[in-house]
Amino acid sequence: MWESPGVHPDESHPRPAPSAVPPPTPDAIRRFLVDLGAPEAEIPDDPELAAQLAGDLVLAADASRSLREVAGEAGVDVEEARRMFRALGLRIDDPDAPAFSPADADFLRLARSRLSDLLTDAERTEFLRVTGQALATIAEAAVASHVQGVESRLRSPAEHVWVNAHMAALGRDLAVHLAPAFLHHLRQAIRRQREAQSRRHRALVEMAVGFVDLVGFTDLSRQLDADELIALITEFEAAAHELAADHDARVVKLIGDEVMFAAVDPAAAVDLAVELVGRDHGREVVPRGGVAAGECVNLHGDYFGPVVNLAARLVDQAVPGEVLLDDAAARASRRPTEPAGRRLLAGFTDPVRVHAIDATP
């Protein structure tokens, strides 16, 4: 039997998807969509629109309340509720349209009471903005993975409808079950903060910051088709994340063909950069890196200041297969370094003493 990923009466998320796909008949597809809650008269004949409807129905399975209703349940003024959701990056045109669930009322209670008890209004808004940005990135990545990967393997309209519904159900489940992973990351972030905290100012941390980019990527990207370009970037990003985990570092952000990472231990940051640059990433690209260490401003999960700027300038100065270090990173390095002279770098008044490591395999 073709089972729909509906919501159990006693659960807030859909049940696991069954393994069987039904016969690819229009009647079976319509029955499936009706089971998900679609009015018979509103089911489109177009298979692509039917597949979109399947996913939308699952995601909105319990979104029967308006913003005004959940705000009232939470004891929050509707305009304050709109501001909080706007800080999360969510646009709300009609406060009376059904788009919210009881969980949204729970969030508003939390934000209004416990967050407000501990944070100023400005701090709460700032925290919600950063949270919303991170969640939006996860959502965009999930959608891209589905469209570029899962959908490319589908062979029939029935598969498309079924998979869209069950991928949406998976998304709902992940929203619940990723909470423990967040707690793991929270514990790691607290530990790093304690280890790196500067004595001079609470916003400053002692960190090593590194950049690695792919030399030749711009020219190569003009020659590759979309699938080849995705494969190249995916391999590079995967290597960066794996090595960051191995060296107790964190990938701060990915900017096209460049990765920025940070570690409390400068020697670990140097090792990460050397190993990432030394990997064979295929094609006609060769990485290069730059690492600097010292006090940075820690804000919104990112790092700012002269040390970050210096690391970014060092990677620009490096030749393919090379990692350039400042004095602090070179002193901490477990690997032998070579003097690379003094460089007049953009944004720095005085020449900077630079050290090099040949990371070619």
CATH number, position 268 = 3.30.70.1230
Are 107 and 249 members of one domain? no
Percent of the chain with pLDDT over 70: 93
Looking at residue 284, its pLDDT comes to 73
Are 220 and 146 members of one domain? no
Looking at residue 251, its pLDDT comes to 96
Whether 326 is covered by a domain: the verdict is: yes
Question: In the predicted model, what is the mean pLDDT of residues 161-166?
Answer: 90
Task: Specify the higher pLDDT residue, 11 or 251.
Answer: 251
Whole-Å CA distances, 65 to 7, 72, 97: 16, 11, 8
Q: Is the pTM of this model over 0.85?
A: no
Are 170 and 109 members of one domain? yes
Whether 282 is covered by a domain: the verdict is: yes
What is the C-alpha to C-alpha distance for residues 266 and 196, in angstroms, rounded to an integer? Answer: 11
**Banded model confidence at residue 138, pLDDT cuts 50, 70, 90:** very high
Whole-Å CA distances, 233 to 166, 170, 221, 248: 28, 25, 10, 22
Q: What is the pLDDT of residues 75-118, one digit of tens each?
A: 999 999 999 999 999 999 999 999 999 999 999 999 999 998 99
Are 147 and 33 members of one domain? yes
Whether 66 is covered by a domain: the verdict is: yes
Question: In the predicted model, what is the mean pLDDT of residues 226-248?
Answer: 91
Whether 162 is covered by a domain: the verdict is: yes
Looking at residue 148, its pLDDT comes to 87
Looking at residue 21, its pLDDT comes to 60
Are 165 and 218 members of one domain? no
Question: In the predicted model, what is the mean pLDDT of residues 36-58?
Answer: 91
33-37, 207-211, 246-250: the lowest-pLDDT one: 33-37
Question: In the predicted model, what is the mean pLDDT of residues 199-215?
Answer: 94
pLDDT at residue 240 tops 60: yes
Cβ contacts of 315-318, under 8 Å, gap ≥ 24: 315/211, 315/212, 315/213, 315/258, 315/288, 315/289, 315/290, 316/290, 317/290, 317/343, 317/345, 317/354, 318/288, 318/289, 318/290, 318/356
- Which of 177, 209, 242 is a domain's end point? 177
Are 153 and 15 members of one domain? yes
Are 26 and 57 members of one domain? yes
- Which of 177, 210, 235 is a domain's end point? 177
Looking at residue 22, its pLDDT comes to 57
Are 171 and 204 members of one domain? no
Widest CA span of the chain, in angstroms? 75
What is the C-alpha to C-alpha distance for residues 56 and 58, in angstroms, rounded to an integer? Answer: 6
Are 354 and 256 members of one domain? yes
Whether 182 is covered by a domain: the verdict is: no
Instruction: Give the chain's domain count.
Output: 2
182-191, 259-268, 308-317: the lowest-pLDDT one: 182-191
**Banded model confidence at residue 157, pLDDT cuts 50, 70, 90:** confident
Whether 101 is covered by a domain: the verdict is: yes
Are 99 and 12 members of one domain? yes
Are 288 and 169 members of one domain? no
In which domain, by residue range, is 247 found? 187-358
Are 285 and 351 members of one domain? yes
pLDDT at residue 268 tops 70: yes
- Which of 157, 177, 197 is a domain's end point? 177
Whether 143 is covered by a domain: the verdict is: yes
What is the distance of C-alpha 359 from the center of its chain? 29
122-126, 143-147, 156-160, 332-336: the lowest-pLDDT one: 156-160
What is the C-alpha to C-alpha distance for residues 110 and 340, in angstroms, rounded to an integer? Answer: 54
